[in-house]
Structure 1
């Protein structure tokens, strides 16, 4: 069992399979992109499968595949097929921007993927282009329709950005009237490859929720799932629901059950902290399963209580200027 020093059971891994992405969302990376990792720097699929197998044996029950954009990495579906067969893995989910995803939805269903997080910051095509620097909204909507058609749970992730898409909050909430989707509004974080855009965060979770309540005063709080990162609500009569994620305010950190592996193989026990070790380097140096387990238990045993503590303890202050593509979305 993976237990941190605060007695929390760690059973959720977010695995980034690549830092590359086919969009250029301004809140994630500069317009020119990033200095992409070389192929030899990335964990191979075989290394990913091995470390995931070790972690599942130690109590990891859920794995979310992230990027970058997972579907831009070659042979991704082959890797996903093998990963889905890990004995003991109870839940396999994906976060994607949806541009390349639609053709693979039937196969995702066959693999047992029950939930997909789809990045969708706006329903307006012009604003989508302004935010992502790519004209790909129709493909994202096609992916959403395909996922719903195949009865895969859809969570729409919208990063709320002052002066960019606050006019989209209510249209996105309106989607939940007729569609069984969960629309989650996320506070903007500083991980954009450039540093934060603002000296303070105007559109925090309170402001987002108040904006929704002005239009839907009868919106009701619904129970949050264990370890939920979102505060969840539902408008009476709507098929879907609404969540607000205090990603910058970090008010949900106390129940954290998550760890991350970056494309480089760096283990992060907190999004706001430093990488605590490199499992890729350990594997390439010949570490066996017992050594990997010992290293993982030691690192996770030191996990901070929340993101504020992790940030205070961070030695690499520049990590807050990193991109989510290199950390793992």
Structure 2
């Protein structure tokens, strides 16, 4: 191979590095904007979903994610909407499993748990070893209220199925003022009993949900952490799992608790991730509107060079961080798209 051709080939597969010298090794890909719940902080009750023709096909999602793996992505998280309501979604998981041990270190998903009882065994067979389940309350009536359409027993059954299939379960709980504040220790105790990790997340200003509602919902995790500290000894952990969470150990129970704090503590300095929507838009930052269209180069032809170039051009625009801010009694840095569109 001529020297110039060799250098071009090397450059085509060089790792993705953003303008702030952060390697991009974590891709979150939404496979659908649809969901069988309508969580109040995530969606409007009567959502207008995207036309199916606008969504990437499973084959296009395979090609796109494979391009990212070829560019150094080591962790792939499948999201939605609710990813497990996408028709034939297990075909995609089976396709992605071929990269495990061949560039990809981890294949995982975030789910509301409603379909886990159906798919847990197949997911485990595809190499999924961990799953994040969104669960904001253990009270059945509250669960119905916050999800609008959800049923708590169905989710708990799904979590049990995931455990039985050998998957590690992490519970993601959005901290909501006036809603689940009084369940803090119940959730912690339940996760300790069940052997689940638990991560608390601050509600983020995404979607046209109303400024007053966002402020009413916002429960700073600094306050939540202080409340935990009144009952437990919290030991900070250096451990990171590739995402934005910071962890502590509760010495009395030995369990690990995570905190995702886009507002009280901006986690952007170590950001190693980007997000792809189900329509092929690449968002370099969850809290910014800048995006890149990857669907066009995907559909322009079978050659991947233009796709890789579009990805590199986008990463070169990755910002230093987001601008979420509730500190002045109004919602600053709010983005208009719903979380279900970008991917949870």
Match of 2:88 among 66, 70, 75: 75
Residues 271-311 of structure 1: per-residue CA shift (max 9 Å, x gap): 011242111122223373111111111110221111139xx
Q: Name 1:18's counterpart in structure 2.
A: 32
Counting only pairs closer than 5 Å after superposition, residues 1-329 of structure 1 correspond to structure 2 as 1-32=15-46, 34-86=47-99, 87-196=102-211, 197-199=213-215, 202-216=218-232, 218-225=233-240, 227-238=242-253, 240-286=255-301, 288-308=303-323, 320-329=335-344
TM-score, structure 2 as length reference: 0.88
Q: 1:172, 1:200 → 2: CA distance?
A: 22
Residues 37-70 of structure 1: per-residue CA shift (max 9 Å, x gap): 1111001111111111111111111110000001
Does structure 1 conserve the Cα–Cα contact (< 8 Å) formed by 2:18 and 2:317?
Answer: yes
Any stretches of 5+ residues in structure 2 without a counterpart?
Answer: 1-14, 325-331
Q: Name 2:328's counterpart in structure 1.
A: none
Any stretches of 5+ residues in structure 1 without a counterpart?
Answer: 310-316
Does structure 2 conserve the Cα–Cα contact (< 8 Å) formed by 1:41 and 1:264?
Answer: yes
* CA-CA distance at 1:199 after TM superposition: 4.1
Residues 207-247 of structure 1: per-residue CA shift (max 9 Å, x gap): 1101212232x232222316441221222242532111103
Q: 1:189, 1:106 → 2: CA distance?
A: 33
Does structure 1 conserve the Cα–Cα contact (< 8 Å) formed by 2:22 and 2:272?
Answer: yes
Does structure 2 conserve the Cα–Cα contact (< 8 Å) formed by 1:227 and 1:255?
Answer: no
User: Cα RMSD (Å) of the superposition?
Assistant: 2.0
Q: 1:183, 1:244 → 2: CA distance?
A: 9
Does structure 2 conserve the Cα–Cα contact (< 8 Å) formed by 1:177 and 1:237?
Answer: no
Question: Could you say which structure has the larger radius of gyration?
Answer: 2
Q: How many residues align?
A: 320
- Bigger mean CA offset, 111-120 vs 291-300: 291-300
TM-score, structure 1 as length reference: 0.91
